[in-house]
Amino acid sequence: MKALLRNATFRKLFIAAFASQLGTVVGNMAFAYYLVDRYSERPSLAATAELMYSLPALAVFWIVGVIADLFDRKLIAAYSDWIRAGLTVLLLLFVHYDWIPACLTVLFLRSAISRFFGPAEMGLLQGSIDSKLYV
């Protein structure tokens, strides 16, 4: 474990993945609480939001690995999170104006873009640590 943490590339990638995952979880929970608080009479909105987090896995699963292999993994990882940050700002704007269909669309897009981070991260890990440390 010490050897992994001494590796600067692994350490940066670990912190980036942790921050990305934390932001995703906090954002998803905050939006769910917003829906439950604001639209308590329409619980189907919370279920629809959960679908918007899950459905993109089916929509893009077949292409994310191919893209991670064809293009620069570092750029894919960085840009996927930057794009999601921009979409989050857009989501906040739509929440401010209570435009729920647009919010759900942005949730779908954010989730689809986030699917590109995982394969890029795995590819970066393989190139930055010794194969004995994979486990």
Model confidence pLDDT, tens digit, residues 10-32: 888 888 888 888 988 888 888 88
pTM check: above 0.85: no
pLDDT tens for each residue of 36-47: 888 888 888 888
**Domains in the chain: boundaries:** 2-133
**For the range 61-65, what are the long-range contacts, defined as Cβ-Cβ under 8 Å and sequence gap of 24 or more?**
61/115, 64/115, 64/116, 64/118, 64/119, 65/119
